[in-house]
Amino acid sequence: MATMADVARSAGVSIATVSHVLNDTRPVLPRTRQAVLDAIEELGYAPNALARSLVTARTRSIGLAVSAISNPYFTEILQGVEAAAVRQGYGVLIADPRDDPGHELEVVRLLHERRVDGVLVAPSADPGALVAYLGRHRVPTVFLDRVVDVPADASPRFDQVCAGGAEPTARLVRHLAELGHRRIALVAGRPGFSTTRERAAGYRDGLRAAGLAYDERLLTHGDSESAGAERATGNLLALPAPPSALITANNAMTIGALRALRTRGLSVPGDIALCCFDDFAWADLFTPRLTAVAQPGRELGTHAVRLLLERLADPDLPARTVRLTCSFMHRTSCGCPDPSEAPAPPEAPAPSQAPAPSETPDPSEAKERTAP
């Protein structure tokens, strides 16, 4: 097994220079750095991560605390985090805070005790104790997916990255209103989440833009879970004037709403139109195909890692909140014809071909043909 001394001999530098290249503890000339990197590649040298952490006080590891890791959306975030971290030479330790404030604090504390360099957290609906712990211990942190109301001048500064929630939801409402729906309901997520507040605000904005009155009975909460959404959808359908269109605020609640509709023998979009927040791999395979807002999960994870590494490099950067753009996936559960199966325009008729010009007859031949 190659050693640091072997790398130094191969590159023609001192062991201290190799250490500086590996640990970024001192500037090294570009050509010298490249010689060291080439020697590492040629010899297959693997640095001792534990020894390096003792020198740099860094473990080159990131803690990731997200609930419902089985949720396809959070799985996409995890994939983005892991890919971006590995590219930068970082490992990822994962914990599930279960959207429970007490458990959330416990798992983040455990990650911190394992000396991760920083944490990425999708906070619960009541993150006060978590924020206090992170601030007290000055843990570099990026809140992802859900934002937290933290003063911009707080010390330490917290960065945040999320997808837009209000405008995409308003767009779904406007789209359904344009199709003629006047009673549009929203099954929102768990109260207290910033995502729930933003999507509820977007719902009201969409109604206002469409000239529709807000009816508080049509805004209900499914607690971000399938079972909760099934109950909430059942309650909506039991109203004296049930909705003709339904928006669900995440993919788990979409499944619950569909289950409630199936139990009552209702079809989508024949009996009720359906749009959802969160696109997922099989949304395009449902019958009908689900009209959805797609969040950029992988990009969100990638941005979170970038913000954290920049914070580690410069703790005095101003606090930053990054909002990524969602996409509107227009399919058929809203009641529209399938955009992917639009009839092809009729083919233009082939131009008629003019007959080939005949040869001009010889005048003498003409006379001969017409002579009596």
* 87's tokens: 């590219």
Range of the domain at 310: 61-164+298-326
As for how many domains the chain has, the answer is 3
This prediction has a pTM of 0.77
Task: Assign residue 18 the CATH number of its domain.
Answer: 1.10.260.40
Q: Is residue 352 domain-resident?
A: no
Contact 77, 300 (CB under 8 A): yes
174 and 290 share one domain: yes
120 and 198 share one domain: no
pLDDT on residue 41? 82
Contact 194, 264 (CB under 8 A): no
Q: Is residue 91 domain-resident?
A: yes
199 and 252 share one domain: yes
Pairing type for strands 245-248 and 184-188 reads parallel
71 and 138 share one domain: yes
Helices (H) and strands (E) in the chain, counts: 13, 12
Q: Is residue 348 domain-resident?
A: no
- Whole-angstrom distance, CA of residue 101 vs CA of residue 119: 16
Q: Is residue 210 domain-resident?
A: yes
Concatenating the DSSP letter of every residue in 187-244 gives EE--TT-HHHHHHHHHHHHHHHHTT----GGGEEE-TTSHHHHHHHHHHHHTSSS--S
Closest CA to 118 of 364, 308, 321, 247: 308
154 and 199 share one domain: no
Q: Is residue 224 domain-resident?
A: yes
Task: Assign residue 143 the CATH number of its domain.
Answer: 3.40.50.2300
286 and 179 share one domain: yes
pLDDT on residue 40? 86
- Whole-angstrom distance, CA of residue 108 vs CA of residue 127: 12
185 and 248 share one domain: yes
Q: Which residues of the chain have pLDDT under 70?
A: 47-58, 68-70, 339-372
Q: Is residue 154 domain-resident?
A: yes
Q: Is residue 344 domain-resident?
A: no
pLDDT on residue 25? 72
279 and 320 share one domain: no
Angle at CA of residue 276, ends 272 and 277, nearest 5°: 160
182 and 274 share one domain: yes
305 and 255 share one domain: no
121 and 239 share one domain: no
Indicate the burial class of 164 (C-beta count within 10 angstroms; 0-12, 13-18, 19 or more): middle
Indicate the burial class of 138 (C-beta count within 10 angstroms; 0-12, 13-18, 19 or more): exposed
Contact 52, 22 (CB under 8 A): yes
10 and 72 share one domain: no
- Whole-angstrom distance, CA of residue 169 vs CA of residue 342: 26
pLDDT on residue 346? 57
Contact 73, 280 (CB under 8 A): yes
1 CB contacts (<8 Å, ≥6 apart)? 46
What is the signed CA dihedral for 311, 313, 318, 322, rounded to 10 degrees? -40
Q: Is residue 343 domain-resident?
A: no
- Whole-angstrom distance, CA of residue 238 vs CA of residue 266: 13
341 CB contacts (<8 Å, ≥6 apart)? none
pLDDT on residue 371? 37
229 CB contacts (<8 Å, ≥6 apart)? 187, 222, 223, 248, 252, 253, 254, 255, 256, 257, 260
